[in-house]
Amino acid sequence: MITRIQFFSFVAFLFLVSPTAASAATISLQATPTRIGAGDVVRVSVLLDSAIPTNAFSGTLQYPAALLEPVAINDGSSIISLWIMHPTVPVTGEPIAFAGITPGGFSGNAGMLFSVLFRAKAAGTAEVSLAGSEVLRNDGVGGIEPVTVHPLALAIGSKSSGGYVETPDLVPPESFTAYLGDDPQLFDGRKYLVFMAVDKISGIDHYMLAESRVPSFLHSFFPPSWQRTISPYAMADQNLTSTVYLKAVDRAGNERVTIFPLSHLVTVYEMLSLLGILLIVVFLWQKGQGRRRRKNL
């Protein structure tokens, strides 16, 4: 009987001293697969649970560089629509920083922020965690939502056990739109294009861009000159007389091209030049006509 009372007292004590669950977002790190060996690739996903709509997220993913080497970032199924700071594969083992927003907000379970493909370098236990994480509410004032982070302790065996295998991405990025902007402070007031494409499987790798005044049916003779670019892009042709071809390329190499049409066929200068030439031609023709008339007389 005393044992039972002691037991219930202990349970009641545990209940009282345990922190009460407040409304908070949770960021957890999940490994796929959970059992890996040295040399294997593992996918570590950064997942968000939020009971209330949240719309801005930032943080830094920390990992032991002696045990894990980041090889790729996948934002294919991310709930983040716009990246302020896109997570990138670091060159010398630095932490992976990220910041982004979800217009309208996200509430739900296991919303993917992004995932990192790591190659296990050696056997041991790799502690992967998130530092400085910030989650803001979709309340119109950027209210702070408390965050609980569940880090990951990844056991790496000495022998390979297969690891994570990326399945081939056969689908091109989603269709996307480019927007023209101009702002006195950006690019010294020059016109620029902003764009953002989404690829649901492997994620966007990079963008290519070409400006051309040559009509598309002549591209086989005069192919446009593609160059790698990022958004926003300050347009080379500020007169908007060129068609801009924009290509989103995913990590598997699939491409989606969008076209930003030209606004004017010719520039004002070209128009004046053409008018001048036309006037000269008319003048010369009139002069010729007059000479002919005088001859006939």
Partner 1 sequence: MREMSRHRLFLLALLASIGCSVAPIAHADDFSSQNYQVLAPVITSGGGYTSSSNFSLLGVISEFVHDTASSLSFASNPGFAAYPFVSTPVVGATGGNALVNLSWTAATGVLGYSVSGYSVGKSSISGGPYTFTSVGNVLSTSVTSLTNGVAYYFVVRVHDPNSIAIATSSQVSATPTAPAPPPSDSGGGGSSGGGSAPPPSTQSAGVNFSGRAYPRSTITLLQDAQVKASTVADANASFQISLTNVSAGNYIYSVYSEDSAGNRSGLLSFPVSVTAGATTNITGIFISPTIDVDKSQVKQGDNIAIFGQSAPKSSITITVNSDVQLFLQAKSDAVGAYLYNLDTSPLEIGSHSAKSKAAVAGEISDFGKTVGFAVGDQTILKKAAPKCSDLIGDLNCDGHVNLIDFSILAYWYKRTLANNGIKADLNHDGKVSLTDFSILAAHWTG
- Amino acid, res. 224: P
How near is the Cβ of 191 to partner 1 at its closest, in Å?
A: 11
Residue 135: how many other CB atoms lie within 10 Å: 22
The DSSP code sequence of 31-82 is: EESS-EETT-EEEEEEEEEEEEEEEEEEEEEE--TTTEEEEEEE-TT-S--E
Closer residue to partner 1 (CB): 53 or 64? 53
Dig out the tokens for 253 from the structure: 């190499």
Closer residue to partner 1 (CB): 197 or 212? 197
Three-state DSSP state, 187: helix
How near is the Cβ of 232 to partner 1 at its closest, in Å?
A: 5
How near is the Cβ of 15 to partner 1 at its closest, in Å?
A: 13
Closer residue to partner 1 (CB): 34 or 216? 34
Closer residue to partner 1 (CB): 5 or 141? 141
Closer residue to partner 1 (CB): 169 or 211? 169
How near is the Cβ of 212 to partner 1 at its closest, in Å?
A: 23
Closer residue to partner 1 (CB): 183 or 255? 183
How near is the Cβ of 39 to partner 1 at its closest, in Å?
A: 12
β-partners of residue 54 are 106, 137
* Phi, psi for 255 (deg, rounded to 5): -125, 150
Q: For residue 251, give the nearest of 182, 179, 172 by alpha carbon.
A: 172
Closer residue to partner 1 (CB): 97 or 262? 97
* Phi, psi for 123 (deg, rounded to 5): -70, 150
Instruction: Name, in order, each residue with C-beta under 8 angstroms of 121's C-beta and a sequence gap of 6 or more.
Output: 38, 66, 67, 68, 69
Three-state DSSP state, 243: strand
How near is the Cβ of 3 to partner 1 at its closest, in Å?
A: 28
- The radius of gyration computed from the CA coordinates of the chain, to the nearest angstrom, equals 30
How near is the Cβ of 177 to partner 1 at its closest, in Å?
A: 7
Q: Give contact residues for partner 1 (rule: CB under 8 A).
A: 32-34, 36, 40, 43, 51-53, 55-56, 58, 76-77, 79, 81-82, 84, 99, 101-109, 111-112, 134, 136-142, 161-171, 174, 176-177, 179, 181-186, 192, 194-196, 198, 200-201, 231-232
Instruction: Name, in order, each residue with C-beta under 8 angstroms of 253's C-beta and a sequence gap of 6 or more.
Output: 205
